[in-house]
Amino acid sequence: MSETPLDAAAYYRWSLSPEDRARLPRYDKLVDALADSEIACHLLVEARPGQRNPMLVLAALHYSALAGDEVLAPLYGAITETAPDAFARRVVERLEARPDLVRAQLHRATQTNEPGRSAIIRAVLRELRARGVLQVHLIDVGTSMGLNLYPDFYRVNVDDPSDVAALLMEDLHGTAQSGPLPVIHQRIGIDLNPLDPENPDHVLWLRACLWPEEPQRSERFLAVLAEMKSWPRATRLQGAANDLIDGAMARCAVPATPVIFHSWVAAYFSMDQQTQWRELVMRHVGERAVWVYCEHPGGVKGLEPPSSDFDSPRPGGTQIVVAETGEEPVSWGWAHPHGRWIAMTPGALR
Ligand SMILES: C[S@@+](CC[C@H](N)C(=O)[O-])C[C@H]1O[C@@H](n2cnc3c(N)ncnc32)[C@H](O)[C@@H]1O
């Protein structure tokens, strides 16, 4: 994004979709109050290029609350007891009094690791299995803490919120979630900064990246971390996707099909990196890989996202794109950015 405070204000206001503004009344007021705060706008500009993202400032404030800041901790701890306007005003007052609280976290990155997105890779893997792909290696690019390396371990349900570790879907729009998946032989995560589920500060930061008005996401995150201890170990590779993908592919023994997956990652690449990424991955697709991504098409033009037969059923959907081995990328449908709903192209389903 551009670096002027005026654009920072606009970016705060755009940072939540209309759907999320309606669901999150306190964050709805907070992003507007941050946009009106000159100090908050300057803090956004102080973040390093590629991380000038309002979500970084929101996460830094939430992190300070979780870490016990005397004003923010009680405010966030009882968030539903404070009216939205008052919540936003008091958070911004604290930020303006103590900008150092936010500044201290600006070296970090928004690394939200959303298990809900496993519903997307799960649905795609299930369909690939139906098309004869029986065994895979899963390469999750931009893996963060690796929570999307286990689509075969998550339970999916549409009506039982008591199972906190499960992926709770609001709407599957007819997309099948049951049925066998391919066997996953190997799980490889690539990230500029892979996070360690055993590191308490990494766990705290990822909790801070979640939105405080969605306590069920935080509960699920912690429940998934507890379950993950008994899941198979994954390989984590630190570095840039474009530098590491060939090495990751070299780890994938035949005959299993390498599936290169990413969600909410390529938008962080520059246009040149996106173009190079497409070339690199398509070379592997030409040989033996499958490429699956779930990204907002407007942010990944360098990937040349394919046109879709149908629009996202709700505003702000992320596009599901699949390039099967030897084929060009095709749009398979849409999903909520956190996997709350999924709608795959009817023609893609069998
Ligand atoms: C918004 S998070 C998404 C995490 C995960 N894919 C998910 O959907 O839950 C973006 C992740 O991409 C990583 N990332 C950004 N640019 C990258 C690059 N060039 N190479 C590898 N990882 C990158 C970040 O470190 C971060 O962990």
Mean pLDDT, consecutive 10-residue stretches, the chain (350 aa), reads 64 90 96 97 91 94 98 96 97 98 95 92 94 97 97 81 71 74 97 95 97 91 93 96 98 97 95 98 98 95 94 88 97 90 67
189 Cα–ligand 1 center, Å? 10
Residue 109 lies in a domain: no
How much is the pLDDT for 347? 54
Residues with a CB atom less than 6 Å from ligand 1:
109-114, 117, 142, 144, 148, 190-193, 240-241, 263-265, 268-269
Residue 40 near residue 12, CB atoms below 8 Å: yes
Residue 110, domain member (yes or no): no
Residue 349: the pLDDT is 46
Distance 153 CA to ligand 1 centre (A): 22
Same domain, 296 and 149: yes
CATH number at residue 309: 3.40.50
Of 103, 128, 147, the position where a domain reaches its end is 103
End-to-end CA distance of the chain, in Å?
A: 41
d(CA 327, CA 94): 53
CA of 144 to the centre of ligand 1 (A): 6
Q: Is residue 184 part of a domain?
A: yes
Residue 246 lies in a domain: yes
DSSP 8-state class, residue 171: B
Report if residue 47 sits inside a domain. yes
Q: What is the C-alpha separation between 141 and 118, in angstroms, rounded?
A: 13
What pLDDT does 346 receive?
61
Total domains in the chain come to 2
Cα–Cα distance for residue pair 74/86, rounded to 1 Å? 13
* Residue that the structure tokens 């992190």 belong to: 63
What spacing in Å lies between the alpha carbon of 159 and ligand 1's midpoint? 30
For residues 222 and 84, state if they share a domain. no
Question: 210 with 245, same domain?
Answer: yes
- Domain range holding 316? 115-348
The verdict on 95 and 123 lying in the same domain is no
Residues contacting residue 162 through CB under 8 Å, at least 6 positions apart: none
Sheet hosting strand 330-335, strand order edge to edge? 235-238, 183-191, 135-141, 257-263, 290-295, 318-323, 330-335, 342-344
Domain membership flag for residue 69: yes
Of 103, 135, 163, at which residue does a domain stop? 103
Query: Is the distance from CB of 336 to CB of 317 less than 8 angstroms?
Result: yes
Contact 110, 308 (CB under 8 A): no
Same domain, 120 and 90: no
Same domain membership, residue 190 and residue 232: yes
